[in-house]
Amino acid sequence: PETITIQELANRMSERGVDVIRLLMKQGALHKITDVIDADTAQLVAEELGHTVKRVAESDVEEGLFDMPDAEDALESRPPVVTIMGHVDHGKTSLLDAIRQANVVAGEAGGITQHIGAYQVTAPNGAPITFIDTPGHAAFTAMRARGAKVTDIVILVVAADDGVMPQTIEAIHHAKAAEVPLIVAINKIDKPDAKPERVRTELLQHEVQTETFGGETLEVEVSAKEKLNLDKLLDAIILQSEVLDLKANPERSAEGTVIEARLDKGRGPVATVLVQRGTLHIGDIIVAGSQWGRVRALLDDKGAVCPSAGPSFPVEILGFSGTPEAGDRVAVVESEARAREITEYRERQRREKLVARGGGARTSLTDMMS
């Protein structure tokens, strides 16, 4: 149910909190300024104090912000967004590094590559692929819990000398729950004790049927260390993404998700955002969670300035007034007033939830003591 604190109600009417409390007292209810009242009571109070009430539901404030349908003929192919998962020490980071180096132009090799948590590489056929470097499964779960579906394909890294381990199984479950296809990368095949066949058999026990066993799950034997078969892995990603037929409308206002965000000493809040639909431009007014801003600069994964960012493109955004959170969805809005309306609304919601939770805790404590 919709609720509001007495303080907030008073603020919005530019009335004094005590006057609201007094009015409620007249109706027989005893309240403190921090108490939460329901929307109907709030409306009565407001009307009693001579205000015109316009009730705005969350669905109204956020109306049209996300997921407005696109015309079929406006859709264009977009690059796949890939997340690498697997058990600890199975070589996720090494594989990412190897893939990235294989694609970084010679002059940049060994240079400083800025870590932005997401980057794009080019497959042998010239097609771009976006990789998201999730810090761990917890972050992936948190994002999914918040409704942020960012990844199209999961690369499951399994070390050939170690086999399927607890976090391998966890990753399989994550991918299944998110309905995202897996590509198995059997890593460390350069090792003398590598047993890729054993990995396939173990995966079968967890309902991952690789092609070798007549299943549909693509698999590639790789070595991150020796840079073996990395092209094959990229080809498998491209093949899988063709099957998925990934599309988005680039000609609309941008929507995306915050991958990570931090407060930079010199540059202020910096958010790495994956654009998922539309194209983001410098000057756009954006909202993310309870933060908003005007895009001041867009930087790609190599730190180069770009004028705009289309679907599946990861960019660093400068210009937020505060630091948004990983998993926050990003949308472009038409005006600063609209951005303020949305973010202030969300901030109120957040505060009211906190107050409500605080109230709940006190109640249970009283219950325990009585």
Residues in contact with ligand GTP by the rule CB under 6 A: 86, 88-94, 187-188, 190-191, 223-225
CA 144 to chain centroid, in Å, comes to 8
Question: Least distance from C-beta 203 to Mg ion, angstroms?
Answer: 21
Compare residues 76 and 89 and give the one whose CB is closer to Mg ion: 89
Compare residues 120 and 187 and give the one whose CB is closer to ligand GTP: 187
Question: Least distance from C-beta 86 to ligand GTP, angstroms?
Answer: 6
Instruction: For residues 18 and 259, give the distance between their C-alpha atoms in angstroms, rounded to a whole number.
Output: 44
**Annotated binding residue at 189?**
yes
Listed in sequence order, the residues at least 6 apart from 326 whose beta carbon sits closer than 8 Å to its beta carbon are 139, 142, 143, 258, 259, 260, 261
Instruction: For residues 222 and 231, give the distance between their C-alpha atoms in angstroms, rounded to a whole number.
Output: 10
Of Mg ion, ligand GTP, none, which one sits near residue 188, judging by CB under 5 to 8 A according to partner kind? ligand GTP
Of Mg ion, ligand GTP, none, which one sits near residue 238, judging by CB under 5 to 8 A according to partner kind? none
Compare residues 135 and 359 and give the one whose CB is closer to Mg ion: 135
Question: Least distance from C-beta 168 to ligand GTP, angstroms?
Answer: 11
Q: What are phi and psi of 63, to 5 degrees?
A: -50, 125
Question: Least distance from C-beta 135 to ligand GTP, angstroms?
Answer: 9
Q: What is the residue-wise DSSP string for 116-134? A: -SEEEEE-TTS-EEEEE--
Q: Does residue 122 bind Mg ion (CB under 5 A)?
A: no
**CA angle at 274 for the pair 291 and 337, rounded to the nearest 5°:** 30
Compare residues 187 and 276 and give the one whose CB is closer to ligand GTP: 187
Compare residues 94 and 279 and give the one whose CB is closer to ligand GTP: 94
Among 27, 34, 93, 114, binds Mg ion (CB under 5 A): 93
**Annotated binding residue at 210?**
no
**Annotated binding residue at 133?**
yes
For Mg ion, the nearest residue by Cβ is 93
Look at residues 251, 245, 264 and name the one whose alpha carbon lies nearest to residue 308: 251
- Radius of gyration of the chain measured on its C-alpha atoms: 25
Instruction: For residues 5 and 275, give the distance between their C-alpha atoms in angstroms, rounded to a whole number.
Output: 36
Instruction: For residues 324 and 166, give the distance between their C-alpha atoms in angstroms, rounded to a whole number.
Output: 32
Question: Least distance from C-beta 277 to ligand GTP, angstroms?
Answer: 31
Of ligand GTP, Mg ion, none, which one sits near residue 158, judging by CB under 5 to 8 A according to partner kind? none
Question: Least distance from C-beta 82 to Mg ion, angstroms?
Answer: 16
Listed in sequence order, the residues at least 6 apart from 96 whose beta carbon sits closer than 8 Å to its beta carbon are 84, 131, 133
Contact between 136 and 164 (Cβ < 8 Å): no
Compare residues 91 and 310 and give the one whose CB is closer to Mg ion: 91
Known binding residues for GTP: 86-93, 133-137, 187-190
Known binding residues: 86-93, 133-137, 187-190
